[in-house]
Structure 1
Amino acid sequence: MGIRYNKITDKHPREIVLLKSFPCKYGKCSFCNYIEDNSIDENEIDRINFPVLDMITGEYKVLEVINSGSVFELTPGTLKKIKEVVIEKNIQVIYFEIYYGYHNRLKEIKNYFQGVEIRFRMGLETFDNRFRIEKYNKNFSLNEKDFKALSEKIYSVCLLVCTKGQTEEMIKKDIELGLKYFKNITVNIFINNGTSVERDENLVKWFIKNYKHLQNDDRVELLIDNKDLGVFEQ
């Protein structure tokens, strides 16, 4: 049984919900087993999501919505319910997830939630194009110009670290570039999950020794365990 609602109280206090959604439009990332939470039954999705959204109190005025895909894969009913809760609880800031392929459609969400600050998080995983495409099967390639353009639309990127094939140098560079271009980064230490991507224990030891201080950096969300946000679907 999973947990779909939690409060983050330490850094960037907010309420967080894990919602069910339609299948991720991309759905080919080699490290992701998360898409098992998807459904094609719209009624079932809303039936699961509505009680979760009813738990929101609005006490921090900030809400993070995560789902196994992008905000664009939430059902119309769930989006409408989020909007009602946001108005009723006077929420000022919402975090949503998006896949890169949607980066030209972000205005649709901003227009739908007018008057609320929308912060988009995107799974970039690494700034190394070759590694992202070949190892993570995330099929897009970006250059400096793209990162600059993206940084104007996207609040935060998620970086996946300590996987086999990565080097210390790559991780160092990823964190450097993440902080250079974006207001915020989420750094996720990979945990084996039955996919073809594997965790590198030596890199984990090196990373924790050298980067644990990121926990105190206001611009960084460091997930040593992917359950650190307190929401997960078993």
Structure 2
Amino acid sequence: MTWSELKLLTLQLMFSNETAALTEDDSNQEYLNAMPGVANAGISIITAFLPVRGKFVIEISAEVTEAVTGTQSLTLPLNAAVAYQIDLKDYCPDFRCIDADEIYLDRDGAHGHMTDWRVENGSVLVLDGGVAETVTIWYEAYPEKLTAQTAADANLNLPREAAELLPLYMAGELYKDDDLSMAAQYRNEFEDALQKLRDAAEKRPAGSGNYQNTTGWW
């Protein structure tokens, strides 16, 4: 779903856009001005239990003599004399927190969950510099914030089932002063659908055994 589509669906719920395409005019401008903040609040509620995922890969290698930073990756030289302290906030601007179930290790041809690791201050991953290995971290990320400058065709970084709930939340918040009963109905529909998503998420397998997350979402 794009930002423009989200705005259109929200306005249609509030009977403020009669056409099939988004129409911005004086009659709905007040709603449109408030939408970025309301949308961000709704996204925060949804992603509290359906987190956006970011991926960062750290390799300790004998093939380099100094740190090499790539796109969502970091390669460090093999050095038995050091313990590397990697602050993920320095490399991942959207970093929110580490998920202990989503750290994977490749070492000596074997791949699996990493069980021997340490984090300091919530974001600093400590690794033994004397072991050649690759560590893949699927961390919880902050979703990109929507603003008045967000492009109309910008895609929301949300799965479809989550994005489809946002118009209900937004209409429920924006319509309070105009039609409180309809606003309450939309908010109740949002909460009901949200609970169903929460229940479905809780039934999904944990990150163990052979089940592994290969997307940015659960």
Under TM normalisation by the shorter chain, which class is it? under 0.3
Considering only CA atoms, is the larger Rg found in Structure 1 or Structure 2?
A: 2
Higher relative contact order (CA 8 A, sep 6+): 2
What TM-score, normalized by structure 2, do the two folds share?
0.21
What TM-score, normalized by structure 1, do the two folds share?
0.20
